[in-house]
Amino acid sequence: MKKIIAVTGCPTGIAHTFMAEEALKNAAKELGIEIKVETNGAAGVENELTKKDIEEAIGVIVASDKHVDVERFNGKPVIETSVQDGIRRPKELIQKILDGNVPIRKDEVKFTRKEEEKQSVGRQIYRHLMNGVSNMLPFVVAGGVLIAVSFFWGIYSADPNSEQYNEIAAMLNAIGGHAFGLMVPIFTAFIAASISNRPGMIAGFIGGIIANETGAGFLGGIIAGFFAGYFMLWLTKVLSRLPREFEGLKSIFLLPLLGVLLTGTLMTILGKPVAQINDSMMNWLSSLQNANPILLGIVIGCMSAFDFGGPVNKAAYVTGTILLGQGNYYFMAGVSAACITPPLIIALATTIFKQEFTQDERAAGLVNYILGFTHITEGAIPFAAKDPLRVIPILMIGSSVSSILTYMMHVQVPAPHGGFLILPLVTKPFQWVLAIFVGSITGAILYGLYRRNRRRKMGEML
C-alpha cells in the first residue's frame, strides 16, 4: 500500500491542527492510502515523523499556518499549503501526490526562497504573523488568568498601600504581570524567526522589548518583527560569501550584533511616533464602549466570527488583550462573548433542529457545546466551510448580538481566555451568560431555518 505523510499546524494549536489531521486521515482511508500525520499543537509535536516514515513516503503534505521543519523532507514531493486547505481539500491534496503533480523539494537555499516567492505576499505575511501569535498566546493566557485570579482578594489586593493587600494575591499578580509583559517581545521574536530563523529571533526579541518600553505595543512589534526578519535574511545571504573559516565569527558575533543594533535603532526612532498612533486607536475603541456600544459590538462580533481564530479574529482578540493590560476589562468581555458564540450557535442549532442535520453533524454539534464553553471558536469551522457565504454571516449576527448585549450590560471580564471556566472572575456572570445565550439562540434559529429552507428546496428539485 502506498504511504504518504503529513504535518498539520495552526496558530493556536487547538482546533484547526486536529481538524486537518482528521480530514486528511479520512480522505486517505477513502482513497485506500496509508497516511501518518504529525500534529504541531498547543502541547507541542505529537506523532512525530521518523526518518523511516519519510523514506517510505511517496509524498508529503505540509498543511500548516505556523513554522515547521520542512528541510527534513528535501528530496521528496512536498505540498506546502494552509491548514484550511488541509481541512477543506484533503482529497485533492492527496490526489495531487498520487498523480505525480508535485515538485520535488530541493535542499538549496535558493530554491527555498523561490518557493516562498511563489506564495502570495498576503499568504507570507499571514504565516509570519500567525507564527508570532501562536507563540505569544500561552504567555497571554497564563499571565492574564493569574492576574485575574489575584483579584479574588480585591481589585487592589496587589497594592501594598491598600487595605485589600494580600501577599498571595500580590505574588500571583507579579508572576502574571511578568508573563503578560513578555507578550510583545515574544510576538515580535517569532515573527522574525518565521522569516529568518534564529538570527531573526534575537534581533526581533530586542526590537519587541523596545517596542514595549516605548509604548509602541503590537503595532511596533509587527514593524520590528518584519524588519528584523527580512534584514537578517538579507544579511545572512550577504555574509554567506565569507570563507568557511569565518562561520563562527558570522553566527556568534556579526549577525546578532548587526541585527540587534539596526533593529534596536529603528525602534528607538519609531517607538514614540508609533506609540501615538497606537494610543489613538486604543482610545477610539475604548471610547466606543460608552459612546456607541452597539457599533462596537457589531464590529467586534463580525471580526470574531469572520475567520474563526484567523487574523481578523486575532486582531479583535489582541486589541482586547492590550486593553486588558491597561486595566480595561469591559472590552475583553465583548470579545470573549463574540468568540464563544459561534460554536454554541452550531451546538444549539443541531439540538433544536435535529431533523435538518445528519447523525455525524449532530455528534459534532454536541462537541461544540464543550468548545464554546471553553472559548474555542474553531469548532464552527466544519459547518461554515460547507457553505461559508451563508453560514458565516449568520454566525457574525449571533456574535454581534452577544457582544452588543455584553457592552450594554457593562460586564467586565479580567481574563483573556477560558470561556465559562472563568465565570467566578466575571463581574456580572449571570448577565454575561445571558448575553451569550441570546446571541447564540438568535444565530441557532437563523441557521436552523436556513437549513430547513435548503432541505425543502432540494426536495422540490428532486
* Residue numbers annotated as active site: 10
Of 180, 174, 202, give the one whose Cα is nearest residue 189.
202
DSSP 113-163: HHHHHHS-HHHHHHHHHHHHHHHHHHHHHHHHHHHHHHGGG-TTTT-TTST
Residues 6 or more apart in contact with residue 145 via CB below 8 angstroms: 176, 415, 416, 417, 418, 422
- Secondary structure of residue 10 in the 3-state scheme: coil
Bridge partners, 4 (sequence order): 35
User: 74-103 burial, b for 16+ CB within 10 Å, e for fewer?
Assistant: eebbbbbbbbbbbbbbbeebbebbeeeebe
Phi/psi for 41 (5° steps) reads -95, -170
The secondary element (H helix, E strand) that includes residue 55 is helix 51-56
CB 311 within 8 A of CB 407: no
> What three-state secondary structure class fits 23?
helix
Q: Determine the Cα–Cα distance for residues 248 and 256; give it in Å rounded to an integer.
A: 12
Give Cα 31 distance to the centre of its chain: 31
